[in-house]
Amino acid sequence: MDERPIKTLLDLLPEYLNFAIAFLRSPRQALAAYELKGRVHVDLTSFLFAGVGAAYLAVLLLPVPGLKLQAPEGAMDRFALWLTQQDVRLLPLEALLAVLALALLGHLVAKLFDRWEVFRARLSTMTSRR
């Protein structure tokens, strides 16, 4: 059995997570290495496929047995019921706004963690001087 694909995948996963964390903190810095190259970069396509693969794994590992729109029990049932009540013409706009809101929320959480790290570093330097 050829072990190269497994080793490649195991090498890609930490890089994907590091890229995702860097992208949440600062998209501009995360994409700076790939900026204005005029071609598709291997890393970015690998990250794309890793994200799609992770989504497929989540669907396989966390299956939804069935949606019950008449008597919603969980979050997915309520979400499906809400979707059926929406105007079909507005769904693309609502999806775009939801994605932008989640991206903004992730960016803000990452910025807060950065500020917390700076605060803790300043605090530790102040206490070490005394």
CA distance 96 to 48: 19
pLDDT value at residue 3: 66
Q: Which of 8-17, 57-66, 95-104 has the highest mean pLDDT?
A: 95-104
pLDDT in tens, 63-112: 666 666 677 677 777 777 788 888 888 888 988 998 999 889 988 888 88
pLDDT: which is higher, 129 or 24: 24
| Residue-range domain boundaries for the chain | 1-63, 70-130
Answer positive or negative: Cα dihedral of 98, 101, 107, 112. Answer: negative
pLDDT: which is higher, 129 or 83: 83
CA distance 87 to 46: 36
The CA-based dihedral angle spanning residues 57, 63, 90, 85, taken in that order and rounded to the nearest 10 degrees: -170
R_g (Cα) of the chain, nearest Å: 21
Enter the pTM of the model: 0.43
CA distance 107 to 113: 10
pLDDT value at residue 101: 93
Question: What average pLDDT does this structure show over 20-28?
Answer: 84
% of the chain at pLDDT higher than 70: 82
pLDDT: which is higher, 13 or 107: 107
